[in-house]
Amino acid sequence: MEKAQNFATAIKQLRKSKGLTLDQISDSCKIKKNYLERMERGDFSFKSEIYVKLFLNEYLKYIDSNKSESIMQEFNSIFNTKSLDVDLTFMPPSDDQDNNQSDSTIEFDDYDPKQIAIIILVIIIIISTYLFITSLLV
């Protein structure tokens, strides 16, 4: 467990040496700040191994993309895990990509399935009520 603590301390010091805050990393990488804090404390058990590795990989790429691969190899050797063979980097869209999208594009990232189901249910109730009332008037 001491190796995990040393690893966590090292990545925290690397982040601080770059003058970065956890809020900046969380906002850019879309990883909950709580998860980043836990990684920096040496707690890598908050999610399954694949998620922890993906979060750590994004965290490291944001801090120092040149050192991220070697640090991930160190992580894998400390925790006796296999390396990720697939590059699953999730970068936020650049300003150019934002400008190329039309204003009429609808993004559903801000809605959860419950909200969508409620909206659909309300529409169905309104239509059903309208049809019921019109059938009474005829």
Tens of pLDDT, residue by residue over 55-101, are 999 999 999 989 888 999 888 888 877 655 545 555 555 555 445 44
CA atoms within 13 A on the CB side of 126: 6
- The answer on 71 and 114 residing in a single domain is no
Cβ neighbours for 12, distance < 8 A, ≥ 6 positions apart: 40
In this prediction, residue 102 carries a pLDDT of 47
- The answer on 62 and 14 residing in a single domain is yes
Question: Six-digit token pair at 123?
Answer: 């529409």
Query: Given the structure tokens 């920096």, which residue do they identify?
Result: 40
Q: Which of 79, 98, 126 represents a domain boundary (last residue)?
A: 79
State the Cα–Cα distance between residues 44 and 38, nearest whole angstrom.
7
The percent of residues in the chain predicted with pLDDT above 70, rounded, is 78
Q: Mean of the pLDDT values across residues 3-23?
A: 91
- The answer on 66 and 26 residing in a single domain is yes
Structural domain span for residue 27: 2-79
State the Cα–Cα distance between residues 6 and 77, nearest whole angstrom.
13
Does the residue 87 lie in any domain?
no
In this prediction, residue 138 carries a pLDDT of 76
Q: Mean of the pLDDT values across residues 49-58?
A: 90
pLDDT tier, 114 (very low <50, low <70, confident <90, very high otherwise): confident
- The answer on 70 and 28 residing in a single domain is yes
Q: For residue 129, is pLDDT > 60?
A: yes
Average pLDDT value over all residues in the chain: 82
Does the residue 84 lie in any domain?
no
Does the residue 98 lie in any domain?
no
pLDDT tier, 23 (very low <50, low <70, confident <90, very high otherwise): very high
Q: Mean of the pLDDT values across residues 21-26?
A: 94
Does the residue 120 lie in any domain?
yes
Cβ neighbours for 92, distance < 8 A, ≥ 6 positions apart: 28, 30
